[in-house]
Amino acid sequence: MSTAALKEALWQEETANGRIRCLLCPHHCLIAEGADGRCRARGVREGRLRSLIYGLVSAAALDPMEKKPFYHFHPGGAIFSVGSWGCNMACPFCQNWEISQLTPGSRARQLAPEELLQAAAGFGGENCGLAFTYMEPLVWFEYVLEAAKLAKERGIVVAMVSNGMIEEAPLRQLLPLVDAWNIDLKAWDADAYRHLGGDLAAVKRTIEIASTQAHVEVTTLLAPRAGVSLAQVPEVVSWLQGLARPIPWHLTRYHPAWRCREAGPSVAEIEEIWAAAASLHPYVYIGNMPHAPSERTCCRGCGATLLDRQRRLHWLTPEKSCRNCGKQSDVFGEIHFAAAEST
């Protein structure tokens, strides 16, 4: 690809030795001419840091909100979801490693931000908005920023599914343009995070800041040498409950993928972790496990069911308050489930 086709990157600085330091994420990669950063999405070409994936799309689909997963944001709806290539972490159990850990090659489809918005609009009323997902969208920063600006100008909802590995200044640049985040909390141990190529403190900071301005849900994959243990649950819940707003927490069942072929926690162990968390926190869900005991969202006030995802029913008033006790729910956006006839 010629340098003319590469977008100059934001968040960079020149150093005395002629290399360019990337300031987008906590890695602060120091990159020489012709080399790429750890994410493989940003590299130095002709003396400047450039996005190597600007406008390159690996996948695009209309996905259920619950697949992201978003359980409290436009429940029951669908969102136009798009991704590119690259990631600034290297989780050995990555479920999307074919795009997060590889480069585009000849497979890339190019879409300008305006074309992306046109594709999203093509689904009409079926589509709730635009989600950046599949790989790590934060390393697609320049494209996401421009597309999100266009979306907000047109009143289109923007969502991010991310590992949260970004520095505070670029996060704050992007934050006004994003309505909802699902952020991975991959472990509750700093050493485990370093093993995955990440930084626990940085991810916690991203979640904390994002929760002050947008809807946030958190996902933890219960993978070998990652995720959370039963003993860590109270500390994680205490931290979640200290954030700016109630945070739904998704505990996702692991399946062997990429370089990790070990067995993960058993169904019984996952349910034990979920039960411990659910006894302390009102919104805890299990993902990737059929017939999980967490398909309902219940009122924090009286315990009545608000959303039943299996039956696609809701028990909310038009103001999204509990029909039973009147307490305001923590559900946002349009509800796409049918209204139940009785409480």
DSSP state of 40: S
Hey, where are the domains in the chain? 3-51, 56-294, 296-343
What is the spatial distance between Cα 255 and Cα 81, in angstroms, rounded to a whole number?
23
Is residue 326's pLDDT more than 70?
A: yes
Closest Cα to residue 138, out of 243, 218, 24, 240?
24
User: What does the pLDDT read at residue 108?
Assistant: 78
Q: If pLDDT is split at 50, 70 and 90, which confidence band does 1 have?
A: very low
Q: Which single residue is written with the structure tokens 């320049």? A: 142
Amino acid identity for residue 26 in this structure: P
Give me the CATH code for the 56-294 domain, please.
Answer: 3.20.20.70
Q: If pLDDT is split at 50, 70 and 90, which confidence band does 106 have?
A: low
Is residue 343's pLDDT more than 70?
A: no
Q: What is the pLDDT of residues 211-262, one digit of tens each?
A: 999 999 999 999 999 999 999 999 999 999 999 999 999 999 999 989 899 9
What is the spatial distance between Cα 45 and Cα 57, in angstroms, rounded to a whole number?
21
Q: If pLDDT is split at 50, 70 and 90, which confidence band does 293 have?
A: confident
Is residue 72's pLDDT more than 70?
A: yes
Q: If pLDDT is split at 50, 70 and 90, which confidence band does 4 have?
A: very low
Number of residues in the chain: 343
Q: How many CA atoms, within 13 angstroms, populate the side-chain half-sphere of residue 122? A: 12
Radius of gyration of the chain (CA): 20
Six-digit token pair at 296? Answer: 């309902």
| Beta bridge pairs of residue 14 | 20
Query: Model pTM?
Result: 0.96
What is the spatial distance between Cα 22 and Cα 29, in angstroms, rounded to a whole number?
5
